[in-house]
Amino acid sequence: MEIGLGVGLTAIGAGLAVGLAAIGTGMAQARIGSAGAGVIAEKPEALGAIILLIAIPETMVILGFAVAAMILLLGG
């Protein structure tokens, strides 16, 4: 059973979609988290807003996963 070049490139593309989205999300959440910790130290009532702001970039990973699924389902 031989796997063609197209299947390998499709898998690499799907991996890049999820991996790069995860790296971008990690970088964004690191900055938001460190700034949020400073805000919460001064204004504890802002906890809900900071949690929401930390969760928003996570949608990038979900969209990266959706793109990877489309690549694997439609490209292969």
The 3-class SS string of 7-21 reads HHHHHHHHHHHHHHH
* Residue 68 confidence (pLDDT) above 90: yes
Residue 27 lies in a domain: yes
Predicted pLDDT of residue 53:
93
Answer whether residue 22 is part of any domain: yes
- Percent of the chain surpassing pLDDT 90: 82
For the chain, how many structural domains are there in total?
1
Phi, psi of 64 (to 5 degrees): -60, -40
Domain that holds residue 24: 10-75
* Average pLDDT score over residue span 3-30: 92
Closest CA relative to residue 76, chosen from 15, 9, 16: 9
